[in-house]
């Protein structure tokens, strides 16, 4: 079994969770674990997010699992 730090970028792409942004304005943020940039808006509220970043976003009331 891999630890998060041992997981390659290619492997981590297989572990994504669709998150829905509940906010009303455009939001661009960088994942705290991966550094990947995510863009959410009213037009695109659902985005696939790396699990390593999703756990932090789900701690916010602005996100839910889609």
Whether 4 maps to a domain, the answer reads no
Give the helix ranges, DSSP H, for the chain. Answer: 9-12, 51-57
Measured between alpha carbons, how far is residue 49 from residues 12, 14, 33 in Å? 10, 10, 11
pLDDT at 1: 44
Whether 31 maps to a domain, the answer reads yes
Yes or no: say if 6 and 34 are a contact pair by the CB < 8 Å rule.
no
Whether 8 maps to a domain, the answer reads no
> Which pLDDT tens digit goes with each residue over 6-42?
555 556 557 999 999 999 999 999 999 999 999 999 9
Whether 40 maps to a domain, the answer reads yes
Residue 25 is encoded by which pair of tokens? 């304005």
Residue ranges making up the domain that contains 56: 15-65
Phi, psi of 64 (to 5 degrees): -145, 165
The pTM score is: 0.77
- What total number of domains does the chain contain? 1
Residue 15 is encoded by which pair of tokens? 């572990």
């Amino acid at each position: 079994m891999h630890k998060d730090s041992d997981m390659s970028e290619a492997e981590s792409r297989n572990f994504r969770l669709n998150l829905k942004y509940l906010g009303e304005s455009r939001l661009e943020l960088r994942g705290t674990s991966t550094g990947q940039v995510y863009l959410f808006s009213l037009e695109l509220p659902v985005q696939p997010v790396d699990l390593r970043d999703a756990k932090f976003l789900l701690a916010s009331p602005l996100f839910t699992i889609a």
